[in-house]
């Protein structure tokens, strides 16, 4: 595998790993650590935390979709 292909594969793994991590963080396993059911700016803390992570997932996905490595030029 050449340097460029290795870099591309690494970028893909990094992006996907980041999104999976954010998805896991957005799950309310540990909601009490982030405001719980108490209100923060009119919404329950857990909901705001989860929505904030949804925004982060959307932005990272939008950013990733513009990157050329998704077109698969180097991954045949």
Partner 1 sequence: MTDLALGGGSLAFIGLYLLSLLGLGVWGKKKRVNNSLGDYYLAGRNLGLPVMLLTLFATQYSGNALFGFTGQAYRAGFSWIVIVHSMIVVVTGYLIFAPKLQRLAKRHHFVTPTDYIKFRFRLPRLQHLISICLLLVLMNYTLAQLKVIGHVVEGLSGGRIDALWGVITLALIMVVYSTLGGLRSVVWTDVLQGTMMLIGFILILVIIGAETGGFVETLKELKAVAPEKTLPPTGPQAVTWLSTIVLIGIGASVYPQAIQRIYAAKSASVLQQSMVGMSLMPLFAVVVVLTLGYLAIVRYPGLQGSAADQVMALILRDTLAFGWQGVAIVTVMLAAILAALMSTADSALLSFSSIFAKDIYGSLIDPSSPEERLTRIGQRCAWLVLAAMVFISTREDVTLYRLFVLKFELLLQVAPAFYLGVTNRHIAGKAVYWGLIVGLVVAVMGWLLGVMPLGLHPGTLGLAVNVLVIATWHMIRGINAPSGS
Q: Which residues bind partner 1 (CB under 8 A)?
A: 16, 19, 23-24, 26-29, 31, 36-37, 42-44, 46-47, 50-51, 53-55, 57-59, 61-62, 64-66, 70-72, 75-76
CB 58 within 8 A of CB 1: no
Least Å distance between CB 9 and partner 1?
A: 10
> Is the Cβ of residue 4 or residue 61 nearer to partner 1 in the bound state?
61
Q: Which of 62, 52, 64, 43 is nearest to 22 (CA)?
A: 52
For the chain, the residue count is: 76
Query: CB of residue 34 vs partner 1: minimum separation in angstroms?
Result: 10
Does residue 18 sit in helix, strand or coil?
A: helix
| CB of residue 71 to partner 1, shortest distance in Å | 4
Extract the tokens encoding 7.
């870099």
């Amino acid at each position: 595998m050449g340097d460029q292909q290795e870099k591309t594969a690494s970028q893909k793994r990094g992006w996907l790993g980041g999104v999976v991590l954010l998805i896991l963080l957005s799950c309310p396993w540990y909601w009490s650590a982030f405001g719980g059911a108490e209100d923060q700016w009119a919404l329950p803390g857990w909901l705001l935390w989860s929505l904030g992570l949804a925004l982060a997932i959307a932005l990272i996905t939008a950013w990733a979709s513009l990157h050329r490595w998704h077109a698969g030029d180097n991954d045949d």
